[in-house]
Structure 1
Amino acid sequence: MVVFNLSMFRFWKRPSPNVGPGDLEIGLGGGYSSSLADDDVVIPHPPVAEDVPSELEAGIDPEAALENIAPHDLEAGHVTTHRWRRVRTLKRASVAFYQVVICQMLRRNRTGTVPDQALVHDDHQETEQSSNEASTSGGFGIGVEELVQLVKERSLEALNRYNGVHGLSNLLKTDLKVGIDRRDDEILLRRNAYGSNTYPCKKGKTFWYFLWRASQFSHLLVIMFAAVFFSLLRIKTKGILDGWYIEACIVLVTVFHIIAIAVAEYKQSCRFIKLTEEKRTVYLEVIRGGRRVRVSIYDIVVGDIVPLKNGCQVPADGVLFVANSLKVAEQEVTASDEIVQKDLQTNPFLLSGSKLIEGIGTMLVTSVGMNTEWGLKMEVSQKTDEEKPFQGYLKWLAISASWFVVLFASVACSIQVGGYFSGVTKKSDGTPMFIYGITTADEAIEFVITSLSFGIATIVVAVPVGLSIAVRLNFAKTTKKMRKDKVLVQSPSAFERMGSVTTILCHQTGIVTLNQMSVVDVWAGGIRMQDMDDVSQLPTFLKELIIEGIAQNTNGSVVFETGVTEPEVYGSPTEQAILNFGNKLGMKFDDARSASLVRHTIPFNPKKKYGGVALQLGTHAHVHWKGSAKTILSSCEGYMDGANNSRAINEQKRKSFEGTIENMSKEGLRCAALAYQPCELGSLPTITEPRNLVLLAIVGIKDPCRPGTRDAIQLCNSGSVKVCMVTDNDGLTAQAIAIECGILTDASGRNIRTGAQFRELSDLEREQIAGDILV
């Protein structure tokens, strides 16, 4: 069984027009830093050999410095004048090479991390004061090099030199609550000062490259050579007026053929470069002007405030100023497989390219693009054009067929010419075509030309040199047609994989469904409401508790714009659905958050399926919990009724709640529950698990199926391609969604397996049922 997994790709944006490949081709020397200040653009620091003492670097006389150097500091164990001369010669050569060669290339290929207004270095006018001024950019209180060094050191001592995160934000002119200004000129100022969040990308080939490559095909060279050779022979036999035009037409057709191949390949290259750029575009939320704004990852600038949650990738280097149980995987950057705990006291530094495994946090961006650790890795590790399996097979097929055709044409041509000169070849009257001493040289040359033309024509026509080109052109044409059906082919090799697919695994959220969630069913106050206009009639105290939990126990936000009736809601689709439910209850988001003080946050745990927040309200405290309905219900000992009273949950009532959850799940709804725990202030730090909760509400969240999904699945099934759905939802919810979209035809449940059920089976049992699993 061949399985194709429709997964999310991660991507990085193309470089800005200022970014060139020059820095990539140069690479990084041992003493060359990728974080360039303005004056460093012209004269970067040369590499220094490891055995060059610091006294030599400072300009001290080498022989005078010998007295202070222990013998074990040098490789040979002792120092000689001759050795110092060699070292000094090495240094001068390094300086000369860097100044003459690399500096010239840097001028031509300046990267986007260096401002366009970079100052030219002047050795005669450099002073300590100008050096300090150069370290700052765009009127900010800290420069690029200092920020890069801060994250590179990753030490609290270095951060404390700037008075911590708050002092650093002041230098970057960033308000940690409001963020930076949203105006375009402010964003441009920061981008010019600290660079853009782009990375080197392999440049596309020019048209001239494809033209040159198309002209390198051996069969075309044979045609051109034969045309010139035959033209000379015909001119000799027929004269200058009649002996050239046939071969000239052949040459002209060959030139048109080369141009056609080059144009086709160039267009295909441009098309897939554009598709790659679209694939790399990723959006995330930042805080600008006091509100959450959705921007491209490449529009992030130094000074931005970026909220982070589990599962997301860190978009730039930065420093945390809010962290709750934050765990990060940095193997993409540091090659370490360990999960790193991040907190404000010991390790608040985040590296671009790392991934949040658990927890939530908010960071201040300090470095972007090529000034980050990830940028350095991107500079030295570029994607290469590796041959795909199907392309390799086509190439092997073409070469094998070519040798066979050349052998056949050579044998046929040799037999024809040999038969002619041996007298075997006869005319129509039965006499030999060639009679020694009678047949003229022009007649013999004409026959040889005809025979060679036959052999060359056989080679040109039969050799499948254009096989791979024809396949690629067909791929390009098919890709264009598929885009009309809203199918984006990101790589031509996808056709190779999909050509042998028998099973498609797709995730429910965002693939089968739209990932546009809304609350459509609610149990609260002892009643079940499927009309969301009725929720405003809930008892006042119960509504206040629900609003308090929704507003404080969330990673999202609600922004009210002046003159706009409907607020803008930000956050994950689930968060947006619950926040919109709070809005229908009459929630004033900012007022609700300011009414209580957050003392402790328990980040949402995907494995445990719950998260919480501890709040101080005067002299008492509430701990609000939100998560999977079944998980939260199992921790509840009471519930709020319609009279604002807390009642105990007996066995009959618990079964009633479980029945409500089951009914919602059968309708394809994702069930979540809201509960709270009243407690004393002194016990807040010890609460990390939900217990003795009071149930406030059970909400059913609808994620509608994507239009056309059912027809697409039926089309796959008609082509003997099985579609399976992977989801983290409850089994009943997954079954209802699978039936709605056409993956399942009945509710028997025989084609559904949970991960826990599958792991309990033996290897033999797994093999027996694997082919029947659809959800």
Structure 2
Amino acid sequence: MDFHPIATDELLRQFGTNPSAGVSPEKAEQLLAEHGPNELSATQRESLWLILLHQFMSPVIYLLLIAMGMSLFFREWLDAIAIAVVILLNALIGFIMEFQAEKAMDGLRQMTTQTARVLRGGKITEIPSTAIVPGDLLLLDAGDMVQADGRLLEATSLQADESALTGESLPVDKSPGELPEDTPLAERSNMVYKGTFIRNGNARVLVTSTGMKTELGHIAHLVAGAQKSATPLEKKLESFSKRLIGITVVIVILIFGAGVLNQVPILEMLKTSIALAVAAIPEGLPVVATLSLARGMIRMARQNVIVKKLSAVETLGATTVICTDKTGTLTENKMQVTEAQQPGATWKQSEEAPENDAFRLLRETAVLCNNAIIDGDKEIGDPIEVSLLQFADETGDNAEIIREGFKKLDEAPFNSDTRVMATLHQGEEQFRVSAKGATEDLLGYCTAIWKNGALAPLSDEDRQFWMAATEQLAASGLKTLGYAIREANDQPGEMLEELVFLGITGFMDPPRAGVKEVIRECHGAGIRVLMLTGDHPATAATIARQLDIVREGQKPVVTGRELEKAPEVWENAAVFARVSPKQKLDLVNGLQEDHHIVAMTGDGVNDAPALKKADIGIAMGIRGTQVSQEVADMVLKDDAFASIVMAVRQGRVIFTNIRRFIIFLLSCNLSELLVIGLVATFNIPFQLVAIQILFINLITDVFPAMALGFTEGDATVMQKHPRDPRKPILSRNGWTWIWVYAAVIGGSALGAAFTAEYFREGATDVMAANNVLFYTLILSQLLHALNMKEPREKFLGGPVMRNKYLIGSIFLSAGVTLLCLFIPPVAKALRLQMMPAIDWWLTLGFSVASLLVVRLLSGIFMRK
């Protein structure tokens, strides 16, 4: 139920509240039993065991569990242990991340664990906030957190900070009265809401809603109901795993059938087929993917981006839409005076300050009619008043010196009736009244205007001119204030009379430096940038124009009210102003249904549902609430939009690397599958034994694959459009090239082995041919890592060839393999013997030939 349009007398009657005494303690107990405690109800959390169990519910893990079972059945203990370590490592990391994310609702509840002052039975009583009931009279002062939703009965100079709830960047003026029924949440000046803060003044409030029935409770419902979608990487790996299982099963069945037709014993052929299936599974994939993502997390942390979930790192690279807050992310979150207009003169930021009495008087008025304090880096007071002190300092004066020259005697605080603040000071020779406020109201107290260095009567034409000038500044997105003074030899009895109008100033939260260039980079990368803010549409439109957010053909600004009436308008808009938490959530849903990968930034409680629902929730680290930070997937320590784009770039690099090592692992493992299958099918004598297959997988699946995950990106990373999230991690063309790679590597290894067997002196040496096959397969696979580059790159150019970790891993793996030959127990276990020089030349020649053939084929076909 909306309470803002109902008359206060009717509300008091509905709640049965005495306006001078509140509800009785006895009735409060009955209402507490009826409505329940004033707290956000706990959502049912998953048990720790269930969170742990979820880590094993993945096709990749199912595949590895099958492989581990087969290894145990055939007593391949090392292989089984290695696979078990991979599974447990991934489960542990996933468990820690999910457990941390589930604490979000606890953070939401902790926001309101305070006491409150209420009027009950005619007495002011301090009670726990959980004991507040509808109908209570809540007493609020500056600095208080509002503990329930309520309607204002009385208010004096009341300002509320509602940024966490509505996104409004400035404190909101509040006053009693009735409002139209369709007034949006951010403009309901006669209401206060749970979870917001009182910045100035005091009030008596009739509590209308408590607990989960408050606006904050409504958001808690949305957070609990927002379902997190699977990340693109999770979806792609699931699809990839299913396809890999299908391919493996088909090949194993074919090889098993061929062996049986060749009259190989069924039991032996069954063992060989299962061993082939185990060999085909890239058990190094999860751990290499985890390490690559973890490295990305570390790199981002060094650049002020804290990523809470591993999968979020890669998802960033697939982002197609960034929904960003305005205040503090695109802007400095710091008000500045950007323009001052006086009769006959205009000053704009970065210009030299005028040296005349009129500008001096305006500057002094801005300092004297001001309660803010700047103490070093500490700023105390209203952001507007802080900016006025900075304005004085930046335009050639000193706020402290001005204040020292005028002793403050009295103050008429800003209130909703006058909408003007005035202070009385005594200078060396005269008394001075300094006033500031809404131009329309301030002009009503003025009788003169400062023109051409002297006083002149304030005419109707002057009033119309300055009202038009104020409206023009407001239309350009600036918050405005007017200024006036009165100087007198005797202390005036009334401050707000016979004032002299001096001019107006415009304020803006300016764009962050470098954001415009970053947004341009996003557009070049095919990423759509949407601004979602609780601010006034004109302010949002101004910032959007300055940052080039709105592109050709897009509607400049869509308000929350427009979005509610016609939800489809979001499709052709870039800026959304005065939007509610529900509308943000609906917008994210709409984008996801349109197959977009959505990154959503936010800092307030109102952003929490959309942050949780988005593919990537990005919370602010400096001004973000605990709720937004715990719901989000990543946190920006510097609140900078540029950090988001840096993270997107890193995510794209990581996905490219993941794709690289998947292709590398599969082509290597399938080359082994082809070799073993052909050898088993045709009864070729130089078969690889199980321990050799395990060793090959260990050497090639770990170090080179891991090093590929450390490949840096190049300048073209952010010049490409995001990949289609609906496409699999490997396209049909990718699978084709994997088979080509596997055939070339397997053919080279078999070619070297046949050459070693038949073109040598004396009888056939099966063990020598086996060793040539073993070493050629390893060296061909190690060199194949250098093929994981873009086809258009030069032979010795590109990020892969510049990857020092990859080059080092190739030499390390080759060195370990060679060293095994000189350690007798290891050589005996691996069935290795010393080889003559001709065999080494054959191994080297066929391995290099496989590299060159792949490069030649990719150069011919991939370029096309």
Structures share a fold, TM > 0.5? no
TM-score range relative to shorter protein: 0.3 to 0.5
Q: Which protein has the bigger helix share? A: 2
TM-score by length of 1: 0.43
TM-score by length of 2: 0.40
